[in-house]
Structure 1
């Protein structure tokens, strides 16, 4: 294995490991799963596929929520996508 330099590569490796673990767990428990591209979530929530973290938080606040951070705002946005039937996961 070759050593890569930089945090972007580290983040990609960590994400890959997380995705593999989550996929294995879902398969083991026979839970259907599918990824949603980040741009899809942002576009459905704000109208912009490249919305900032602040814009995602503002969008959830406009729906009556008070997310503590951008991660919570993203989770709420995914819930709305599924609930409103805009995307099938």
Structure 2
């Protein structure tokens, strides 16, 4: 018998895409902005990110596994620094809460979702539509693709 688990899938970034599959099989998703706000210190976005993760965990009751998009190349230095900060806070948060986590390479996610490892944003959004979702942006679509990959290849958990 397959164990049903709660999975959080994340597309980390200033606008973080997320998809959460609960134990009852329902999935919710969206994107959350962690843009630095005016008169705010540089680390505040990460504190808001951690607070948001905790709110998601409280809503879900328990999270059995976290999967995130593992990016090896960034468009620019600022994007790379932001990603590194979100990744550091995510992994520390997971360790603190004893939640297993795993990065999934971008090409793996795109190939699973579209059949092409170098597919564009529109193709991933189209794939999310075929799974019955209507993502607001490519960040949410990426998170849904990560979740879809995790359910298909990881047996619903780690």
Structure 1 consecutive aligned stretches of length 4 or more whose deviation exceeds 3 Å: 86-89
1:70 aligns with one of 133, 138, 142: 138
C-alpha displacement at 1:86, in angstroms? 5.9
Q: Look up the SS of the partner of 1:34 in the other structure.
A: strand
Q: Look up the SS of the partner of 1:31 in the other structure.
A: coil
> Could you tell me how far apart the structure 2 residues matched to 1:47 and 1:86 are?
18
C-alpha displacement at 1:60, in angstroms? 1.2
Q: TM-score, normalised by structure 1?
A: 0.82
Q: CA RMSD in A?
A: 1.8
Q: Look up the SS of the partner of 1:36 in the other structure.
A: strand
1:47 is matched with which residue? 115
The answer to which structure has the higher strand fraction is 2
Q: How many residue pairs align between the two structures?
A: 83
C-alpha displacement at 1:8, in angstroms? 0.4
Structure 1 unaligned residues grouped into runs of 5+? 1-6
C-alpha displacement at 1:31, in angstroms? 0.7
1:11 is matched with which residue? 79
The answer to which structure has the higher helix fraction is 1
C-alpha displacement at 1:63, in angstroms? 2.2
1:34 is matched with which residue? 102
Q: TM-score, normalised by structure 2?
A: 0.48
Corresponding position: 1:25 with 2:118:
no
Structure 2 unaligned residues grouped into runs of 5+? 1-74
